[in-house]
Structure 1
């Protein structure tokens, strides 16, 4: 009986000592088919996402209205979002119509009419 317990103990110890650690992997299903993604790429992924977010970051409508007010808009009638800009239409301090176009990414004033 002692020999049997000792044999099982030795077998368990050998199994633990000789087993290699499992490496985590993931699969990705996309237009190119199914592929295995190594652990290193999984670790880098959040950083890449953050870089992409910073590249795509744009100003909000509220920030665009603030910039338009600095350009002379007193009352804002409409804020329209175009492909690359915000168009703020309103009234200036004299009561005349004014239109300000602001770049959505940089916040630069493109035109004041």
Structure 2
């Protein structure tokens, strides 16, 4: 899949941990040098009925936000542009924010 982040094309890939060594220590990453976003294919623990799709979507939102921060120059030119806590907050809260914006008809 291809997406555009502030005018720059990024590819999105979902991979198994066994197919990408970088996924051994993280659930995803945004590579600003190759303009690619890679997320890990999650699987529920054995015997669990937990739906992993919401977490996979949160991880993808998280990495896309990193792309926006990079493409806007905020990753290198601010103290907070690479803050994982802030990026996680945006990734978790954005669906709720979008719903409110849509209800308020300000999108």
TM-score clears 0.5? no
Larger Rg: 1
Greater relative contact order (CA < 8 Å, ≥ 6 in sequence): 2
The structure that is strand-richer by fraction is: 1
